[in-house]
Structure formats: C-alpha cells, structure tokens
Amino acid sequence: MREKYNREILDLIRSIQNIDFIKPEDIPNIDLYMDQVTTFMEKELASSKRHEDDKILTKTMINNYTKNDLLPAPVKKKYSRDHLYILAFIYYFKSILSINDIKTILDPLTSQFFDTDKTSELDIIYKEVYNMCKSEVSSISQDISSKADKADNAFENFTDNDDDKEFLQFFALICTLIFDVYLKKNLIENLIDDYASRHPVTDAKNKKQAKKKQDKE
C-alpha cells in the first residue's frame, strides 16, 4: 500500500511538467471580444483547474481588473494580444499576491510597454519571461522530488502503525512545501516593497506621458 502511495506522489510531481501554460505562439493575432477572451483562457489553462467546475476567467473578473487599473480598458469592446498578456500575468500572480502588489508589478508594464496600436513590446517581454519560467519546471520538479524523498524517510521509528506513518510523512511533505512557498512569498513581497519605495507611482505615469510624446514626434 505504501509503495502504491509513493508512486501516486511521484505521478503527481511529474504532472507538474504537464501543466498548461499560455504559449506566446498560441495567443491570437486578432482582437477578441470578452466572450472570446474567456473561452481562450479557459481552453489554454484547463489543466490548471483544481476542480472541474472552477472558472479560469469570468467577465466579472475582467471588469474588476479594469476597474482596479490592473488591465487597460478594451478598445471598442475588443481585447488585443497585449490585453491577453496582462491577463496571463494576472492569472499567474493572483494566487500568491494581493491586488495592490499585482498593480505595483503591472503598472510599469501597462504604462511603458502596453500599446494597442502597434507591434507590441509586451510580445518580446512575455516570450522572454515564458522561456525563463518554462526552463525552471524540470529543476522545480526535481526539488519537489527531493523533498518527497526526505518526507518519505521521516517518522520511521515514531510509530508502527502504517496509516499513522503515511499521514505523518504526507504532513511532513506538505509542511516542507508550504515553508518553501512561505519563504518565497515573503521574499517576493519584500522585493515588491523595495521596488515600490524606489519607484513612486508618479514615475510610471510620467514615463508613460513622455513615451506618448516621443511616439508622436
């Protein structure tokens, strides 16, 4: 039974490598209406759902992102590739970060690189970040496997009850993973706070105005 359980854990770890990402080449080259945007996101990120009836993105979410200045407003009710890039970032960020932190990160992107009227600089940015993140999947899987091995060797002499031992080893793995996320989340928040303290919001707005002026010239 324990061997079967361990195989199940390993299968779950390997499944990380099959989680869907929004590939740059899959983002449509045409502008989309809101219904088309939600359908696209639902299709591209289906494997990341925890439950079958979970919603990846809804109209209400999109409207709230725009209302909270995370996502620029659509042009004539249509969303460009740049909108989809920003929505992808929001999707990945929202399970870890607060709305305010996401806004701090995205403000420079939407202020300096978002432009629905010409070839997007966000296209280059998204591809670069996508490739960096994709290259990390294998090492992350290996790190989790290492943590699972350590947890599997924990509590060996604590109890002779196999069910209790299995639970405690499962609990040890969960705690180890959570501590890893806790440390990284803490670091991310400190990095964001440090950036925000050195780059007031007005800086992004001024850069956006200067960029628009430069483009007109």
Residue ranges of the chain with per-residue pLDDT less than 50: 1, 204, 209-217
Q: How far apart are CA 80 and CA 34, in angstroms?
A: 11
pLDDT digits (tens, 9 = 90+) for 74-115: 999 999 999 999 999 999 999 999 999 999 999 999 988 987
For the chain, the helix, strand and coil percentages under 3-state DSSP, each to the nearest 5:
70, 0, 30
How much is the pTM? 0.83
Q: How far apart are CA 184 and CA 173, in angstroms?
A: 17
pLDDT at residue number 75 = 92
Is residue 174 within a helix (H) or strand (E), and if so which, with residue range? Answer: helix 162-198
Count of structural domains, the chain: 1
Q: Which domain holds residue 107?
A: 2-216
pLDDT at residue number 21 = 82
